[in-house]
Structure 1
Amino acid sequence: VLMENGILRTAINKDGTLASLHLISANREVVSDGCCGNQFVIFDDVPLYWDAWDVMDYHLQTRKPVVEVIQPVHVVSSGGVRGSVGFTLRISDKSTIVQEIVMDAMCPYLKFNTKVQWAESHKFLKVEFPVRVRSPNATYEIQFGHLQRPTHWNTSWDWARFEVWGHKWADLSEHNFGVSLLNDSKYGYSIHKNTMTLSLLRAPKAPDAAADMGAHQFTYAIMPHTGTFNSSFCSWSFFSVTKPVILETIKQAEDAKGTLVVRLYESHGSSVTATLRTTLPVKEAWHCDLLERRDPTRPAHVTPDGITLSFRPFQIVTLLLVL
């Protein structure tokens, strides 16, 4: 099946793997030669001591691709503003994967809406994307920042970092091109050499014998891009802020009517001055702590050009905006 939206072009095999993913503007193919993206794999997962907490490196030697197709790829929707295909795979006699691969109009990423019926014991489900990118380091988003880890296992210290924690995205970039792996609810990644892997489900039996059993629903996406990971952040509609600061949270204040709380953080690890702008009628702005307690000695001055804020590397700033 072929899908294209003017930004991306992809070819999908009958088993739901990606034969090709092309970033049209850069004329760059994403999927490695002779490989397939969106490859589900399953591992034996038997830690030495702590079932639900430990992941041992020897599980990597038990990799088995999920290849049994129950329902091959078929068109779910076509034309208009969304195209999608669906398929079903069998993990075992007790577990299945149902997935819809979605390409939206003018969207820079390919999305994978996934449902898993999970009834395994001491198994680890992951999905792999071998990509045409070479870099000694990969970047992983964490709350209010990011960290980098090597993509090689040259030393025992490198080998020990075979699984890396992360939140909304992980990125592998070389000069002026890279690939980001996005997700809505998973927290383990592995990027070794040029293979990007997202950890999806485990099946520990202690201390809870029924841990993670049952139905799961989650979404992940792959986004090739030019530049580096920190050159493609999105802006907001009611709010905007100058890079590299990220507006992470907008909410109503807990104890003050007509007041919003916004939380921002510096995302690149640098000292910067940034400007927060909004179309909302803000009368006053105050710095506050994480418990939303106003600091009367630190007003944030509201001007027609916005609110100017200073940040240290990875600093979190929380403001009360009085409307």
Structure 2
Amino acid sequence: VRVEHGDDGATVLDNGRLRVTVEATGLVTSMVDLAAGRELVPAGTALGRYELLTDEPFQWDAWDIQRDAFLTASGLDSSEVTGVDTAADGSATVTVKAAAQGVGIATRITLRPGAGSLDFAADVDWHTEEQFLKVDVPVAVQALNAQYECQYGIVERPIQKNTRSDEAKFESCTHRFVRVSDPSYAVSVANASTYGSDVAPIQGTAPAGAGRGTMIRLSLLSAPLYPDPRTDQGRHSFAWSVVADAGMPETLAEASRLNAPVLDGVPAIEPLVRLEDTEGVPVLDWVKVTDDGSGDLIVRIYEAAGGAAKATLAVCGELEGASVREVTVLEEDGLDADLTRAFAADGPQPAQGARLTLAPFQLATLRIGR
């Protein structure tokens, strides 16, 4: 990753796919997708700006978020770059410190070689009361809806609030990512576990030099007083990633990278099961032994994008000659007759080369036995 320092204190990171500008204040004012020739940060906005909101719900202090709190947002008192480093793998990291009364945040902004995403990692020292911490991730994409990951699928919420029902959806649960897309381009924000997020349109005013897009704000911490006045007090760590040209496969891959632990010192082995010749967005989510102690293998596969999907099952050499059949989520035979099947034929069949067909958001549990 090439690192350049400007006379104004800005730092420019370039890995050949993305060019990122981090100002002396620690805010990212530009993120350019070089292949698409597209600026991803709307003019007049910045990635990585932290906001504090007054958090005083009418009731259920530790669980509710009051809509009025969104009118009280203010940026942290101070923010500045404290260092720029290059790692052995070629990654470049800009370290930023931000602070307000009772709040200290150390952020690392990292661009990896060849990566199509920009990584943020934050360590927060949190000692405040009745405050709500969010971080701004504005993207230069105009869309009607935002897509949020839920368990084995996605849900959509309106970005522009036109009805009371829309307005009631001001904060949405965000499992591993939120994604916004227009007909030609998409950006997603993958996270390594946050409370949720909110989205709003950035209207932009051309005469003032402000750009249009969508404001995504990840919810990081709150500080309720009831029932436990010490809730969330202390140190916390968060991570999120802004993904450029974010098709659903790329978004899922980035979400997995952030959330799946990397185990050092484990022998490199051939995957037990793989999906080949895929069409659509099928995801191999779980591989585990059965709960009944038989030694059979359970594989869970789902369709992640809301469309039809197909894939061919491939197994490792140790499972040569194994058979596969579809079972219930409790790993038992006897699928309900009303459920859509992943295999065209019922009963066991050779696992190697078995062809799967999945309906939108369909979850299939497969049992492989030798």
TM-score (norm 2): 0.79
The counterpart of 1:301, out of the listed 345, 349, 358, is 349
SS at match of 2:318: coil
- Are residues 105 and 300 of structure 1, via their aligned partners in 2, closer, same or farther at CA, if it must alter by over 3 Å? farther
| Structure 1 segment 181-260 matched on structure 2, within 5 A | 181-193=189-201, 194-225=214-245, 228-229=247-248, 233-234=252-253, 238=271, 239-241=274-276, 242=278, 243-256=280-293, 258-260=295-297
* Cα shift at 1:143: 0.9
Match of 1:44 in 2: 54
Match of 2:307 in 1: 270
Q: Note the alpha carbon deviations across 1:119-158, whole angstroms, 9 max, x for none.
A: 1211111111222111111111111000111111121111
Q: Note the alpha carbon deviations across 1:210-265, whole angstroms, 9 max, x for none.
A: 11111111211101106x44676549983235232111222333333643322111
* Cα shift at 1:284: 2.3
Question: For residues 15 and 52 of structure 1, what CA distance do their matches in structure 2 show?
Answer: 32
For the 8 Å contact 1:270–1:312, the answer to whether it is kept is yes
Paired residue type of 2:62? A
- Are residues 183 and 231 of structure 1, via their aligned partners in 2, closer, same or farther at CA, if it must alter by over 3 Å? closer
For the 8 Å contact 2:351–2:368, the answer to whether it is kept is no
Which of the two has higher C-alpha Rg?
2
- Are residues 311 and 300 of structure 1, via their aligned partners in 2, closer, same or farther at CA, if it must alter by over 3 Å? farther
Question: For residues 162 and 287 of structure 2, what CA distance do their matches in structure 1 show?
Answer: 43
For the 8 Å contact 1:294–1:320, the answer to whether it is kept is no
Match of 1:111 in 2: 119
Q: Unaligned stretches of 5+ in structure 1?
A: none
Matched, 1:148 2:185: no
Q: Note the alpha carbon deviations across 1:95-120, whole angstroms, 9 max, x for none.
A: 21111111111221111111111112
Question: For residues 346 and 228 of structure 2, what CA distance do their matches in structure 1 show?
Answer: 48
Structure in which a larger fraction of residues adopt strand: 1
Match of 2:211 in 1: none
4+ runs of 1 displaced by more than 6 Å? none
Paired residue type of 2:307? S
For the 8 Å contact 2:146–2:156, the answer to whether it is kept is yes
For the 8 Å contact 2:149–2:175, the answer to whether it is kept is yes
Q: Identity across aligned pairs (percent)?
A: 29
Question: For residues 307 and 280 of structure 1, what CA distance do their matches in structure 2 show?
Answer: 15
Match of 1:317 in 2: 364
SS at match of 1:165: coil
SS at match of 2:354: strand
* Cα shift at 1:302: 2.6
Match of 2:298 in 1: 261
Question: For residues 240 and 128 of structure 2, what CA distance do their matches in structure 1 show?
Answer: 22
What is the root-mean-square deviation in Å for CA atoms of aligned residues? 2.4
- Are residues 280 and 43 of structure 1, via their aligned partners in 2, closer, same or farther at CA, if it must alter by over 3 Å? farther
Q: Unaligned stretches of 5+ in structure 2?
A: 1-10, 202-213, 257-269, 336-344
Match of 2:43 in 1: 33
Match of 1:123 in 2: 131
SS at match of 1:310: strand
The worse-fitting range, judged by mean Cα deviation, of 284-293 and 20-29 is 284-293
* Cα shift at 1:62: 0.2
Question: For residues 19 and 317 of structure 2, what CA distance do their matches in structure 1 show?
Answer: 39
Match of 2:143 in 1: 135
Matched, 1:15 2:35: no
For the 8 Å contact 1:13–1:73, the answer to whether it is kept is no
The counterpart of 1:288, out of the listed 311, 314, 327, is 327
SS at match of 1:225: coil
Question: For residues 354 and 119 of structure 2, what CA distance do their matches in structure 1 show?
Answer: 35
The worse-fitting range, judged by mean Cα deviation, of 148-157 and 285-294 is 285-294
For the 8 Å contact 2:248–2:305, the answer to whether it is kept is no
* Cα shift at 1:84: 0.9
Question: For residues 292 and 76 of structure 1, what CA distance do their matches in structure 2 show?
Answer: 49
The counterpart of 2:68, out of the listed 46, 58, 65, is 58
* Cα shift at 1:87: 1.6
Paired residue type of 1:23? D
Matched, 1:86 2:95: yes
- Are residues 14 and 258 of structure 1, via their aligned partners in 2, closer, same or farther at CA, if it must alter by over 3 Å? farther
SS at match of 1:318: strand
Paired residue type of 2:234? G
For the 8 Å contact 2:54–2:132, the answer to whether it is kept is yes
How many positions carry a matched residue from both structures?
319
Q: Note the alpha carbon deviations across 1:63-108, whole angstroms, 9 max, x for none.
A: 1012413x5241132574311111211132x221111111111221
